[in-house]
Amino acid sequence: MVSFVVGLRRFLGALALLLLAHGGAAAEQPTFVGRSGTKLVVNGSTFLFNGFNAYWLMNVAAQDQAKVTKTLSDAAAAGLTVCRTWAFSDGGNAALQSSPGVYNEQVFQALDFVVSEAKNHGIRLMLSLINNFKDFGGKAQYVQWARDAGESIKTEDDFYTNAKVKQYYKNHVQKVLTRVNTVTKIAYKDDPTIMAWELMNEPRCRVDTSGQTVTAWVKEMAAYTKSIDSKHLLQVGFEGFYGSTTPDKIKLYNPGGYKYGTDFITSNQVNEIDFTTIHVYQDSWLPKKSDKERQTFLQQWISLHLNDSVNVLGKPMVFTEFGKSKKTPGYSEKVRDDFLSYVYGLIYSDAKTGGGSHSGGLLWQIMGDGMESYYDGYEVVLSTDTTTTAVIKKQSEAMAALANKPAASHD
């Protein structure tokens, strides 16, 4: 009888995992991810996760939905539960927004499909609303639209201050947040499948390296975003560079001591910002350093920002981009696997000892089979990169095992 009960429990546990991975009942009714002090929470329990970046989902879904479904299915099978992707594509061919306020319905329906499929596979989305860089349009496209409309534009960084450009951005925010999904019939602002909004991918500002211009923009746009949608979490999209309010940290910790026009502290102090983010690309940021020096930098970058997030800002932190490029000298799959194991170990240790303040990490990046035209050197194809997939799955299981205690409610 005892063996029967044990066997039944094992069967039910396996069935629950199967349903979660393949979009069964456990994934059909998600609830919103919230924040309790320095932790992310769901239904009163600490929300910890292992996740990934797949910026391309909307664009590929417009042409090949099966590839998106297969990738999300493989990700769910590896225990990945959060995905960061683009909710923008500005100007050019097959863009979501071809000109200010003019949207391609076919591409928007592709984003609808991505949200629906993520829900079906038990994966929450972190949706970014614009790019700092020219890829997929970005702030350069916005200022060009304004220039074409007769505005006096000097640089791309007028994006942060020009009234017309700021209105273009607000219009896009409103369009996306109030969009009613054609598949699920749920407005994006009401869909808990979406974990969080990201104001911009990797904001930077060359004309004001203090960070004050970007912080003023964050204050305005965070307040505007929350005025439309108070249910979802919001983050800036930072890499983690320090600004003028912490000059010692610029010199000691910003790669090369450079100023990037952002201030990790002041922008994340904005009330409407719910959690901090960091990115790390130590190989490209520190090309002349040794592997040991890069590893030391990586460890310090994470611990420094986690300490600031918890003790200065009182907010959780998510490691939203990291990876190992195949273009790095001396690369091998073992080198990548060892790197990921090291990073995952740091995230797990932080999550365990810090009570969940380091909520999780998002690998850059997961791609599907036959996507060679998208490859950037960082791609991981779960169905073929078997040793790396095993490393990822092990981290997913470890983070899931930690997320089993109620988070204390506090401001």
In the chain, where the domains are located? 1-30, 33-402
- For residue 212, cis peptide bond before it (omega within 30 degrees of 0): no
Q: Are 121 and 22 in contact (CB under 8 A)?
A: yes
321 catalytic, yes or no? yes
**What CATH number does domain 33-402 carry, 3.40.50.1820, 3.20.20.80, 3.30.70.141, 3.40.1190.20?**
3.20.20.80
Give me the catalytic one of 117, 156, 198, 202.
Answer: 202
Is the backbone of residue 256 left (phi > 0), alpha (psi -120 to 50) or beta? left
Q: Supply the pTM of this predicted model.
A: 0.92
Active site residue 372: no
Beta bridge partners of 280: 322
- Give the pLDDT score at 404: 72
> Which of 55, 31, 208, 187 lies closest to 124, judged by CA?
31
Residue 50 near residue 80, CB atoms below 8 Å: yes
Catalytic residue among 117, 156, 239, 321: 321
Structure-token pair, residue 14: 């396996």
Q: Which residues, given as ranges, of the chain have pLDDT below 70?
A: 1-29, 405-411
Q: Residue 43 is encoded by which pair of tokens? A: 């239904």
Is the Cβ–Cβ distance between 169 and 125 less than 8 Å? no
Instruction: For residues 22 and 76, give the distance between their C-alpha atoms in angstroms, rounded to a whole number.
Output: 7
* Lookup: tokens for 391: 């490393």
Residue type, 355: G
* CA distances, 184 to each of 28, 70, 234, 322 (Å): 11, 20, 23, 32
